[in-house]
């Protein structure tokens, strides 16, 4: 990966949207919700006031409107501040 987040930012690869419900109903593309879970790909160095808690490879939960979407080599990623991450799973 040639992207290195700065300061307290984190690069996340969102998990794929659910294709089926638990009962087996197939969800059409127009009704799929944006995933709120993803894998940490890269982490910044942190700031003097905030050390980095998340690490590469962690699975995290984040807010619905958190982060900035970007596309690199056909893959979609999110870059956000560590404070936008709600939990490590």
Q: What is the pLDDT of residues 54-63, one digit of tens each?
A: 999 999 999 9
What would the two tokens of residue 13 be? Answer: 């690869």
Buried b (16+ CB within 10 A) or exposed e, 12-34: bebeeeeeeeeeeeeeeeeeeee
* Structural domain spans, the chain: 9-15+33-88
CB 83 within 8 A of CB 7: no
Distance between CA atoms of 75 and 11, rounded to whole angstroms?
12
pTM: 0.84
- Architecture of the domain spanning 9-15+33-88: Roll (2.30)
pLDDT confidence of residue 25 = 85
Low-confidence ranges of the chain (pLDDT < 70): 1
Spatial separation of the C-alpha atoms in residues 59 and 57, rounded to whole Å = 7
């Amino acid at each position: 990966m040639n992207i290195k987040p700065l300061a307290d930012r984190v690069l996340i690869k969102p998990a794929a949207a659910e294709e089926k419900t638990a009962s087996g109903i197939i969800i059409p593309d127009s009704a799929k919700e944006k995933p709120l879970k993803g894998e940490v790909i890269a982490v910044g160095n942190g700031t003097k006031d905030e050390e980095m808690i998340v690490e590469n490879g962690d699975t995290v939960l984040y807010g619905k409107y958190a982060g900035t979407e970007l596309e690199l080599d056909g893959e979609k990623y999110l870059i956000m501040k560590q404070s936008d991450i709600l939990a490590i799973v």
